[in-house]
Structures are given as C-alpha cells and as structure tokens.
Structure 1
Amino acid sequence: MPTAERFFCSDDARTRGDPMAGTAPRGFVWVLIEYRGRWPIDGFEGLHLQAATKRLVLSAAKAARARILLVKRPGARRHDGPDRWAVLRHENSGAFRQQWGMWSRDEDLAQIATALGLSGARGGPPVLLVCTHGRHDPCCAVRGRPVARALAERRPEQVWECTHVGGDRFAANVVIVPDGVYYGGLDAESSVATVEEYFSGRVHPDHLRGYTDLFPPQQAAVTAVLRRFGPAGRGDYTIAESVRDGDFWRIRIAGRSPHPECVHVELHARRSPPCRTTCRGSEATSFTVYETTSIRTA
C-alpha cells in the first residue's frame, strides 16, 4: 500500500501564505534554564526534578508572568561543568535587564525564584533563541537546527536552542530576548541577514511576527508601518493610541526622526478558514488575521 505523505505544518503555512504579523505571544519576562538532556514535550514542566524546587520555580514564574524555556547550545553536547540559568526582563521604558546564574543540583534552581523578585543588571547583549523543540513539533527541529547553527557561527555567545516559543507553522522561529522581537519563516541564510539587520538598528517587516510588549493588532500595525516606510530600530515606533470598533482597529503610531512623526493605521481583524496549524494536531482550527485597510501620515 502507498505510504501517506508526512504532514509538515510549516510547509502548509507557506503554501497558504499565512501572515505572520501580529502572532508574537505577549510577554516581558523570560526564564532560561540550560538543560542538555532530551527535552520533554512540555518543556520544563515535564522534567524530573525535585518536586518542591519545581513548584517554587513554577509558582514564581506564574506570579511574574514569566515564560520558562529550556535551552542548550547548538552543536555537540557538552558533558562537563554546571549549567546556566537566566532571568531576562523587558521594561516598559524599553530598557532590559538580565540576571544569570549556575546550577548543578535541582535545589540550585531555587535561585530563579529569588531572581524573579529582583530587577537584575541593566543592559547586556541580547540573547538569540532558536526554537528546535522537535518533540513538541517536528518542523521546529527540521527548520530550526540549521538556523541555530548558522547564527552560532556568527554570534556563538548569544545563540541558544530553546523549547517551544509558539507558532510552530512559522518555523524556523527566532526570538530576541529580552528585547522581545519575534521572527518567523527563517532559514539559515535569511536568519543571518535578518539578525544582523536587527543589530544594525533596522527591523524589517518580511519575517517579523511582532514585538512582545504589544498586543497582536498593535504588532500588525507596526509591521504595516515598517512595510510602508522602511525598516526602523526596535524603539523607533511606539503606540500612541489604539481604538477598537468591533472587528476594526484604529491605531496611531508615533515615530522618531527620521521616521514619520505620526502614522494612522486602520486594520480589519478576520478569522481564517479552518486548517491544521501544527504537525501533531489533527484538528483544523482558525486564527486571527489582521488586514491593513488604511495607512496615512498626519
């Protein structure tokens, strides 16, 4: 009997032309835990750790609305030395803070709960996270690992493979934290170009899923502005006003010179036709698409 062709959600999304703008999960705080073993399908929650420590970390992360991700370096597995953990925070001002530590015993992870209650050191180089969580979704591993290798060749100290970040169909996904910039639909070549442009102060719209400090329609509006007026730095555009009227949004965006000082974006939110959005999920679901209906300067 003929073998059924294997389904890959990222291939299907590319064929459909799924829009990426407005798909970045909202968040300001990230907890990274280096774990060199095989990642469970549900990430940190699936690890066999000391129960009390695990509950403490989960409770502190929930209180801080932090996302916990397991991470590891691309390439051959390292077998010696302690693992690292980090708490990364994006502030409302646009500044970001980082706090790093080491762990070799389960109890050491209790330091994370303490760190979540502190502000951490300001600045530091951003971290590049590449989702390669194949047990969660095969597309993340198939498309993510070549991207992680390519980026690690350029920025070995900043690149980590990580567990599920959302949006399997947009693999390969790269998240720059704590700046909170989500990119999707990348391959080895485009990831290097996209990331280097980011570090040069030029965020392009082509692979941008959104900024995690913004809500989905605001993310889509910023992407529309970048598409119309060209790339800009992460903080060059800010949301001045958002007004919803049913399925329609009116969003006013303030820009820094030399970018437009004020841009008005109108969006229509609609639901997509049902489709499979993950490799492992067999049920068809729909998702919200934000269509730009008007964009003008003041």
Structure 2
Amino acid sequence: MTAAERFFCADAARTRGDSLAGTAPYGSVWILIEYRGGWPPNGFDGLDLDPDTKALVFSAAQAVRARMLLIRRHGRHSPEGPRRWAVLRHENSGAHRQQWGTWSRDEDLAQIADALGAPGELDCPPVVLVCAHGQHDTCCAVRGRPVGRALSERWPDLVWECTHVGGDRFAANVVVAPDGVYYGNLDARSSVAAVEEHLSGRIHAEHLRGYTDLFPPQQAAVTAVLERFGPAGRHDYAIVETSREHDCWRIRIAGPPTRPATFEVEVHSHRTPPSQLTCRGLSMSSAVVYEVTAIRVG
C-alpha cells in the first residue's frame, strides 16, 4: 500500500462528517503517570513494572473507575528530574481536586492507591492532555503531536502528551482535566484558540466532544445549547431532568442568570452504517449518533 492509499481514520471521519457531540467517555477520576520511554499500544497495562505494585494500582483504579494515562512532556524523552504521577478528580459538587507526587522506583507508584482515597488539593491549575499515542493509533501521533507542540509552546507547565483517551477518529483530541472536557478535530491553531477560551471560562460548541460527568445524550444537549446561545463556563449549565422513551431523550437544562432560565432539549439517537473507525482496527463498526431535534426555551 502506498502512502497515498494508506487509511487514516481521522481523514475518513471528516469525509463522512462524523458528529463530535456526545462522544466523551464517562468518568470523573484520572490517574496520570509520567513515563518517558516508549508507550506500549495498551498504555499502563503493557508496562514492565513490579507485579505487586502494578496490581495494586490497577485494582485501586478499577474500584473508582479511574482512567489511567501515561504522560510525558512534548519532545522531552530523555530523563530530567523525577518522574511525576497525579490523581485528578472532578466531584459532583463541581469541585476539582488534584494530588501530585513523584516516583523513581516502581514501588513508589503505590502512593497512587493512597491518593485515590485522599481528598486532594483544590484550586490547582488544570491539566491539558493531548493524545499522541501513535502505537495505539496512527492519527493520534500524526495529528496529536503538532497540537502537543503548539500547546506546549503556549502553556509549557500545563500541557502533557498522553496515551489513548478514546475517539481516535477525532484526532487531534485534547482533554482538560479534572474539568472533564473533551475537544476533538483540532489542529495547532484551533487547539490554542480552544484552550485559551477554555482557560478564560468560555467553552465553545465547536470542537467540543462533551463533558465527562454527563452521559452522551446530555453532552449533545449541552453542546446544542452552547452552539445556539454562545460560549459559557464549564458549570454555567446544569442538567435538571432527563427522561427517555426508546431512542428519544428529553433533557431539561438550567442556564446561568445571563441566559434563559431553562431549556428543554430533545435528542434522538441512531446508528451509523458500519465503517472502519480506527486506523488499526480492520473490522467494520457502527457508531451511535446523538442528534438534537429541538430546543425549547422554558
């Protein structure tokens, strides 16, 4: 196969016009482990670590349904200073908590299990994660690394490249944590604009995949409201009520004081025709799309 014939899942998704809205995976806890060597295709699972420590961390992560990501600074593969780990948590109250530590021996990673049970610190700067996991999917590297470079040049202390975050076909993917906000279909220029607006308290519908504390139809509903009424802060909209009948959801959203009091959003789901959704996955799969069919101001 020539370079011109090579399949790239992100190119194919753009050609199909795959919808971003409602594609952020659910979750509120992240475990980050700085690893400067080569990343295995399956991330943490593939690391050659002390078996007891690895089992302890994996079990603790499973207990709270945490997403485990390997991280590194863009372009910095040689050892320099201690490696870091972090536990990031987005609480139901909207509070964002972080706990950071360092490790030099495998056994030091056992601290992660303790940190998962600790409250963590408030008011820490957010972490900007750029998926650049080329061993998992080619598009994550081809599209992710230029975004990692651009964001790292702008915010060197906030930005890390990371392993698979989901949605390879939407590369480049960026996650702001523990805010729990997923962005996709980014390039160097749009990623800087999106993160700059995010850090200023303005989340735009464009490039938004969703909020990880919401379920897919709720994510799509919030995205539609942002698209119609303009950018807003991470917690400006709250889900008040969600009901479902077959493939239709009715979602009531409360707005901030500067917007209408409530919105009634109708969301329908359907499956796409089977297609190849990742660069490495040769099987054909269908995806669920959440389409907003009506927005009513309450």
Matched residue SS, 1:10 = helix
Q: Is 2:138 the partner of 1:138? A: yes
C-alpha distance after superposition, 1:158-186 (max 9, x if no partner): 00000000000000000000000000000
Name the residue aligned to 2:25: 25
> Which residue identity does 2:79 align to in structure 1?
H
Shift of 1:76: 3.1
Report the number of matched residues: 298
User: Which deviates the most, 218-227 or 257-266?
Assistant: 257-266
The alignment partner of 1:121 has SS state of coil
Find the aligned partners of 1:22 and 1:72 in 2 and give their Cα distance.
Answer: 28
Q: Within 2, Cα distance between the matches of 1:74 and 1:2?
A: 29
Q: Aligned pair 1:157/2:157, yes or no?
A: yes
Residue 297 of structure 1 corresponds to: 297
Amino acid in structure 1 at the alignment position of 2:92: N
Residue 266 of structure 1: SS of its match in structure 2? strand
Q: Does 1:218 align with 2:218?
A: yes
User: What residue number does 1:177 align with?
Assistant: 177
Q: Secondary structure at the match of 1:11?
A: helix
Cα distance in 2, alignment partners of residues 2 and 285 from structure 1: 25
CA RMSD of aligned residues (A): 1.1
Return the alpha-carbon distance in structure 2 between the equivalents of residues 69 and 4 of structure 1. 32
Other-structure match for 2:124 = 124
1:80: how far off? Answer: 2.8
Runs of 4+ in structure 1 over 4 Å off:
1-4
Structure 1 counterpart of 2:67, one-letter code? R
Which residue does the alignment assign to 1:66?
66
Shift of 1:200: 1.3
**Structure 1 segments unaligned to the other structure (5+ residues):** none
Counterpart residue identity of residue 144, structure 1: G
Quick one: which amino acid aligns to residue 42 of structure 1?
N
CA distance in 2, matches of 1:2, 1:97: 48
CA distance in 2, matches of 1:4, 1:209: 29
Aligned 1:1-298 pairs, distance under 5 A: 5-298=5-298
Q: 1:266 to 1:5 in 2, by over 3 A?
A: same
Structure 2 CA distance for partners of 1:74 and 1:4, relative to 1, 3 Å: closer
> CA deviation digits over 1:208-265, x for unaligned, max 9?
0000000000000000100111111110001000000000010000011112210000
TM-score of the aligned structures, taking structure 1 as reference length: 0.98
Partner Cα separation in structure 2 for residue 259 and residue 92 of structure 1: 23
Write the distance in 1 (CA, Å) between the matches of 2:263 and 2:36: 46
TM-score, reference length from structure 2: 0.98
TM superposition shift of 1:291: 1.1
* CA-CA distance at 1:2 after TM superposition: 7.1
Instruction: Describe the superposition over 1:258-291 as per-residue Cα deviations: whole angstroms up to 9, x where unpaired.
Output: 1221000001100011111000011110011111
Question: What's the offset of the Cα at 1:4?
Answer: 7.3
Aligned to 2:172, the other structure's residue is in SS state coil
> 2:10 is matched by which residue type in structure 1?
S
Question: In structure 2, what is the Cα distance between the partners aligned to 1:229 and 1:242?
Answer: 21
Report the secondary structure of 2:145's partner residue: helix
Distance 2:3 2:138 in 1: 19
Q: Percent identity?
A: 69
Q: Residues 113 and 261 from structure 1, CA distance in 2 versus in 1: closer, same or farther, beyond 3 angstroms?
A: same
Offset of residue 77 of structure 1: 2.0
Deviation per CA, 1:95-139, whole angstroms, max 9, x where unpaired? 110000000000000000110111111120000000000000000
**How many angstroms apart in 1 are the aligned matches of 2:101 and 2:279?**
35
**Secondary structure of 2:160 counterpart:** strand
- The amino acid that maps onto 1:259 is R
Which amino acid is the alignment partner of residue 195 of structure 1?
Answer: V
Letter in 1 for 2:134: G
